[in-house]
Amino acid sequence: MSAERQRFLAALTEHARTWPNRIALDDGQAQLSYGELLAEIDRRRERLAALDARRVGLALDNGIDWALWDLALLSDERVAVPVPGFFSASQRKHLVASAGLDSWIGAGDEAATLGFAPSDDGAIASRTVSAPPELHAGTAKITFTSGTSGAPKGVCLDSAAMLRVAESIASLVAPLDICRHLAMLPLATLLENIGGLYVPLWLGATCHLPDTVTLGWQGASGFCPRTAMSVIESVKPQSLILVPQLLQALLAVAPEAPESLSFVAAGGARLAPALLAQAEERGWPVFEGYGLSECASVVCLNRPGEPAHGVGRPLPHAEVRLSTSGDVEIKGATMLGYLGEAPIGTWYSSGDLGRLMPYPDGERLHLDGRRRDVFITAYGRNVDPQWVESELTLQPMIAQALVHGEALDHNRALIVPRDPSADDDSLSAAITAANARLPDYARVHAWRRAAPFTPANDQLTANGRLRRRTVLEAYRDWLTAEAASIVTSTPSSATPSSYSTGAAS
């Protein structure tokens, strides 16, 4: 057992002794006190052991059930594999096969479609895996990237890395005396799993875990801020974790910060300086941070009581350095390796570009973009544009496509029709057909025609690859323009809109 896991379980034991009646978990339907928590975890451990469940897919919505199963798996170091609700059917099949899952915990009939059969335990479906894929030694959780492609990578983490991050965060926010945390993101998101479950429990606070519909989520990229604000006003949390689009949406309906809030961590995607300034003007206690799944979610954070600069200083467990080419490299609480790939070294190269700037109280990290083409939407979803572009160009009507969604609530596409005389309705139908093959966070919701990308206009290499930066610069005004209004719903069959039919000048 890792030292970090020992300390975490010891903290839960101490909370049970000191505050047996304090609520540990509350999902709006049921509550569980610290005095009851460990016994409930032990009961789940016994159920898992009875079925010899070793690699378990956790496909539940936010709630006490999700938390208890996750904590039971963590306690025994069985392999937990959270299943993002926004994954498509094909991505779920890939997750099951690549991780070699033998057990599935989830609502509905989905388990059967994935090859699992009912067991003696009504909550757990099982299947026989005669030759499971080899895992990195010590793997306690496999968190799959948020779907940069149709076959997202599995990040293998041990319990020490996850709990080391949780302990670091807990040490920084302990002076704020946080009593209630409200989980605004799905618990299958590693950031909320660590920051919104492990950290509050380490502090002896209450984790409020309402289901995502109650919070106002509508799919992976639709959100109703008024619904969310009603929950915030009811729960009165001291802490939240938000991605930029959620912060922007909440600011639009609640100009003044709720009085209860003392710590709002913002991460998952680039936080525009103007948005951060707007939040500060209105009294929202927002602290920007930086991290990635490969480093157990959080690496740097601006601290309460300190001036905010960039994405903050490294957490106590982490070290950050820059390569000679400016790549951000990270040490401490890094992954064991990707599923099915070789272990990583001591330092992990993030693919992000940055600068370490000196300040009186230590160096702060400032980010300057990414070396890779992957973009991060405003909801914190990583998307490989080439994946979406390949789906678009499979449609007979589309010759070329470029997809962009960096820090946007919905993705946009430049479309070059195979036949220049093709009408907008036909192109829109082709995009809708491509969208049907993609999860909602990767779909195209707005598009415009573009002139062909060619070597002559420097938008295509001689061997046919897009010169992405050149195209983005040519169409920057449209690709980065603010949407006319905040989108509060994303129908699964949404028809993409055409903003313009002319090429950029």
Over residues 365-416, the pLDDT tens digits come to 998 877 777 888 877 788 888 889 888 988 989 989 999 998 888 899 999 9
pLDDT in tens, 168-198: 999 999 999 999 999 999 999 999 999 999 9
Per the structure, the count of domains in the chain is: 2
pLDDT in tens, 419-440: 999 999 999 999 999 999 888 8
Residue 484 has pLDDT above 60, yes or no: no
DSSP annotation string for 358-381: --TT--EEEEEEESSS-EE-TTS-
Residue 505 has pLDDT above 50, yes or no: no
If asked whether residues 189 and 277 sit together in one domain, one would say yes
Give the helix ranges, DSSP H, for 225-324.
225-235, 244-253, 273-281
Residue 454 has pLDDT above 70, yes or no: yes
Choose between 497 and 161: higher pLDDT: 161
CA angle 213, 216, 218 (to 5 degrees): 70
What's 13's domain CATH number?
3.40.50.12780
> Which of 366, 398, 416 lies at the terminal end of a domain, its last residue?
366
Buried b (16+ CB within 10 A) or exposed e, 136-162: beebbbbbbbbbbbbebbbbbbbbbbb
Q: What local confidence, expressed as pLDDT, does residue 237 receive?
A: 98
Mean pLDDT, residues 270-281 taken together? 86
What's 394's domain CATH number?
3.30.300.30
Q: What local confidence, expressed as pLDDT, does residue 497 receive?
A: 67
Q: What local confidence, expressed as pLDDT, does residue 57 receive?
A: 98
Q: How confident is the model at residue 498 (pLDDT cuts 50, 70, 90)?
A: low
Residue 485 has pLDDT above 60, yes or no: no
Q: What local confidence, expressed as pLDDT, does residue 61 receive?
A: 97
If asked whether residues 45 and 134 sit together in one domain, one would say yes
If asked whether residues 403 and 337 sit together in one domain, one would say no
| Residue 11 CB burial class (10 angstroms; 0-12, 13-18, ≥19) | middle
Q: What local confidence, expressed as pLDDT, does residue 246 receive?
A: 87
Q: What local confidence, expressed as pLDDT, does residue 502 receive?
A: 33
pLDDT in tens, 279-323: 999 999 999 999 999 999 999 999 999 989 999 999 999 999 999
> Which of 322, 342, 366 lies at the terminal end of a domain, its last residue?
366
Residue 504 has pLDDT above 50, yes or no: no
If asked whether residues 302 and 426 sit together in one domain, one would say no
Residue 99 has pLDDT above 90, yes or no: yes
Asked whether the beta carbons of 337 and 157 are under 8 A apart, the reply is: no
DSSP annotation string for 220-233: SS-B-HHHHHHHHH
Asked whether the beta carbons of 88 and 95 are under 8 A apart, the reply is: no
Tokens encoding 85: 């609700």
